[in-house]
Structure 1
């Protein structure tokens, strides 16, 4: 990554462990596309349901050349696995990796084109 990673917490107290996990996952994105110019991650706990647990939402905003942005929001209101913040982070970064791979394929010209 060319610019530093930005991590924001919304409706949630800052956690060094969560920040470290996000940094580890963000470093892995360089394997899929090494020209990421910026990465902003928002870790959010929008639901305050104490009986069912908090469902975490992870938003990732990537800027990649040429002048393209990739936005990933992982908010599955019915997915009980997202009461674990580590699972929510992992799912969001897996989706970001898939989108980066697709972007890299398009830049290389590896995408099939349909004939008329």
Structure 2
């Protein structure tokens, strides 16, 4: 990565364990697609519901050449699994990997573009 990984915590205290998990998942993305220019991850606990626990929201903003961005926000307010921050992180990075895979296919020309009808 050209720019160091940025990790921000919103509405919760910093956690070394969560930061380590984010770094681990980011390294997996870099092994999959080595041309990531920058990555910013926001770990957020927006819900303060004592009956359900905190449901974490993970935002990932990637910059890839030539200046394209890939944004992933995983906010499953109905998914009780997201009361575990590690599950929320894993799901968000899986979505980011799928988007990077789609982007890499487009770069390689593996994705067919459809011409408009009547052109």
TM-score for the superposition, normalised by structure 2: 0.94
1:3 aligned onto 2:3: yes
Distance 1:49 1:70 in 2: 31
For residues 20 and 75 of structure 1, what CA distance do their matches in structure 2 show? Answer: 21
Residue aligning to 2:87: 87
In 2: Cα distance, 1:114 partner to 1:46 partner: 41
- The whole-number CA distance in structure 2 between the counterparts of 1:98 and 1:107 is 14
Give, in whole Å, the separation in 2 of the partners of 1:66 and 1:102: 15
Partner of 1:108: 108
Query: 1:56 corresponds to which residue?
Result: 56
Residue 24 (structure 1) aligns with: 24
Query: Where do 5+ consecutive residues of structure 2 fail to align?
Result: none
Larger Rg: 2
- Post-superposition offset of 1:114: 2.6
Cα distance in structure 1, aligned partners of 2:58 and 2:34: 22
Q: Distance in 2 between matches of 1:14 and 1:113?
A: 44
Give the CA RMSD over aligned residues: 0.9
Equivalent residue pairs, number? 116
Please report the TM-score for the alignment, with normalisation by the length of structure 1: 0.96
Query: Would you identify which runs of 4 or more consecutive aligned residues in structure 1 move more than 4 Å?
Result: none
Aligned-pair CA distance for 1:35: 0.6
Match of 1:67 in 2: 67
